[in-house]
Structure 1
Amino acid sequence: MNAPEPAGVPVPAVGPGDPAPDFTLPDTHGTPVHLGDLRGQATLVVFYPFAFSGICTSELCELRDNIEDFETAGVRLLAVSTDPVFALKAWQEAEGFGFDLLSDFWPHGAVARSFGVFDDESGHALRGSFLVDADGIVRWSVLSPRARPRDLEGYRQALAEI
C-alpha cells in the first residue's frame, strides 16, 4: 500500500507489488551490502538527500530512537544517500546510528535512480522509503516533499502490515 502523495510530489518508479531493484552499495566501513543477500528478512530502504542536514538528521535520529519498532518486526534498516563513504562514517559516529548508512556516491545516484527517487536537477536522492518483504517485493513505499520529513507513524503502520 502506498501512502497518499501530496499534490506535486512525483511517484517513485517502484511501488507496492514490484520487485525491489537489486543493488550493492558500500557501508561506512567500505563493506559492500547487497540487497539480494538480505532475502529471507524484510528490509526498509530509506533514501535521504544529505548527511548532516537538518531534516535528514532529525529523520534518521527518529529512526535511531525507535529502532526497536523495526527490530521487533524483523526489519533491517538501510539508509541510502549520495554522500561519500567518509561523510557517512563521520555522521554515523556523530549521531550514533546503529543501522547501515550506504553510499550511492558512484556511479552517482544509480541506486536512487533505479528506485525512481533521484533528482537530476539537484544531484541527490529524494525522501523515498521502500519496505521490501523477505522475497524482495516492495510492500509499501512513500515519497515526501523536499522540506517535509517522513512520518514515523507511517512506518509503524507499514510494519504492522508486513
Structure 2
Amino acid sequence: MAIEIGAEAPDFELKDNHGRTVRLSDFRGERNVVLFFYPFAFTSVCTGELRELRDHLDTFVNDDTQLLAVSNDSMHSLRVYGEQEGLEFPLLSDFWPHGVASRAYGVLDEDKGCAVRGTFVIDKAGVVRWSVVNALPDARDLDDYVKALATL
C-alpha cells in the first residue's frame, strides 16, 4: 500500500547515475520534489514517460521544484541510460539494499523485484501532497503532476 497523502515523506539516501549521494532531506525547506518511481530503464513505457519529463524539464527542475526518478536498476545501467536518452535530472538507483526506497513508499512489487509506477509530489516541508500509483503496464499522465505542483 502506497504512503498516504498528508504523511511525512520517508527520507532516503540513494546514489544517482553519476555516483553522487542524493537524500530527500537535502531538499527540505528549499524545493518541492516530484518523486517518480519507474520499473526499469530501457523499457518502452518507462522510456516514454521519462522522455516526456525530459521534454518538459523546466516544469520539473527549477528554483522551486526538483524531479527525482527512481528505479531498481544499478547506478551503472542508469548512467548509460541517462546518457542515451539525454536525461538531465537525477536517476536514482534503488538497487542495493534492493528496493529500500520503493518499499518505504509502498510501490515495490516484491514478486517482480521492481517498483510499480508511483509518483509522489512532496512539498518543501517534506509532506506528501499528491500521488498516483499505476500498475506496471499503465503510463501516468504528465498533466496530473503539473496540476499537483500548481496547488503548492
* Normalised-by-shorter TM-score class: over 0.9
- Name 1:50's counterpart in structure 2: 40
Residues 73-152 of structure 1 correspond to what in structure 2 (within 5 A)? 74-152=64-142
Q: Does residue 27 of structure 1 match 2:16?
A: yes
Give the percent of matched residue pairs that are identical in Structure 1 and Structure 2.
48
Distance 1:52 1:133 in 2: 30
Q: Determine helix, strand or coil for the equivalent of 2:26.
A: helix
The one-letter code of the counterpart of 2:147 is Q
CA contact (8 A) 1:127 1:146 kept: yes
TM value normalised by structure 2? 0.96
- Determine if contact 1:25/1:104 at 8 Å carries over to the other structure: yes
Report how far residue 71 of structure 1 moved. 3.5
- 1:114-134 deviation per Cα after TM superposition (whole angstroms, max 9, x unaligned): 000000010001100001100
Whole-angstrom distance in 2 between the partners of 1:71 and 1:105? 24
Which residue number in structure 1 is paired with residue 151 of structure 2?
Answer: 161
Instruction: Answer yes or no: is the 8 Å Cα contact 1:73–1:159 preserved in 2.
Output: no
Query: Matched residue pairs, number?
Result: 151
TM-score by length of structure 1 reads 0.90
Distance 2:24 2:60 in 1: 17
- What is the rounded CA distance, in whole Å, between the counterparts of 1:105 and 1:117 in structure 2? 14
The two structures, once aligned, show a CA RMSD in angstroms of 1.1
Taking a change above 3 Å as real, the CA distance of residues 131 and 159 of structure 1, as seen in their structure-2 partners, is same
Q: Secondary structure of the equivalent of 2:103?
A: helix
Amino acid at match of 1:63: L
Please give the alpha-carbon distance, in whole angstroms, between the structure 1 residues aligned to 2:54 and 2:13.
23
For structure 1, the 5+ residue unaligned runs are 1-10
The superposition leaves residues 139-160 of structure 1 with CA deviations (integer Å, 9 ceiling, x where unpaired) of: 0000012211000111111111
3-state SS of the aligned residue for 1:78?
Answer: strand
* SS of equivalent residue, structure 1 residue 17: coil
Decide whether the 8 Å contact of 1:70 with 1:76 is kept in 2: yes
Select the residue among 3, 27, 38 that pairs with 1:38. 27
